[in-house]
Amino acid sequence: MRTLITGGAGFVGSHLSERFLAEGHEVLCVDNLITGSLSNIEHLRGNDRFSFIRHDISHPLEIDGTLDNILHFASPASPVDYLRHPIATLKVGSLGTHNTLGLAKLKKARYLVASTSEVYGDPEQHPQREDYWGNVNPIGVRGVYDEAKRFGEAMTMAYHRFHGIDTHIVRIFNTYGERMRLDDGRVLPNFVGQALRGESLTVYGQGTQTRSFCYVSDLVEGIFRLLFVDFHDPVNLGNPNEVTILEFAQEILALTGSASKIEYKPLPADDPKVRRPDITRARQLLGWEPKIDRHEGLERTVEHFRRKIQKN
């Protein structure tokens, strides 16, 4: 099989590239590197079934030959990144989705788009099920990401209904693991980086807001299964094991052995108060649920960050 992955040099995209190569696919990795990195795919570039194309998928892309699968994962995904690149974020969620769907139509390829738990906004339903429509501020600071993903879902369903494209939508909840950037602004690399450097851990509000963290290998397994089922509505993939941000900060301090303190700052605008996936659909449809518990996943991730900090 021949599989194209946009955002393939990013955190999740690079793990997907690795997985599809391991399954025997030829992988075409497309990335413009505004948040991705060649270092994430350096170990893959000697494989003759892997090729890298530097390209902004907000602009049309021509591919010679057949394509069996297209996975659209290109997008800034952390608040720091999408607030730094707000228009690029909107474009890749709209124009990029349109371009990749057009390519899927041309090549008669399976299609999977990466959506996000952020489509639920600051949810009034907890845990979040796929039939919940969300509570999103379209003109708030986070709206550039939230609405780009919501539009991407709508465009994907339109291509499925109108053109009969074999489409799939994954709503990804907080994911972590090796190849995350220390400076991407999300809570896990923030806390781990601060703890390893002996800095105070920054907790926003009182730390009572909750998150659910899924290890990247579990996420990749769910995505791979989803691509090959006959189902087209959104599917949540995440770990339903919920933790408060304050508890999470304390876990990181214990795991790293850091003597860092906790510093409290005002809660950012539109920051979700709760976040936990209902994964009933993924269990029933895919036979999937997370296998790596948070302690094991964090041990691996902390060691990855420790090596990065020592190297620098």
* Active site residue ranges: 145
- CA distances for 159 relative to 98, 108, 113, 144, 247, angstroms: 9, 12, 12, 22, 43
Q: Are 41 and 53 in contact (CB under 8 A)?
A: no
Nearest to 283 by CA among 275, 294, 292, 291: 291
Strand, coil or helix: 101: helix
Where are the alpha helices (H) located in the chain, listed in sequence order? 11-22, 79-84, 86-107, 143-163, 187-197, 216-227, 245-256, 280-286, 294-311
Question: Which DSSP symbol is given to 198?
Answer: T
With beta carbons less than 8 A apart as the criterion, state whether 93 and 53 touch.
no
**Contact between residue 4 and residue 47 where contact means Cβ atoms under 8 Å apart:** no
CA torsion sign, 166 to 9 to 99 to 131? positive
Tell me how far apart the alpha carbons of residues 112 and 90 are, in angstroms, rounded to a whole number. 18
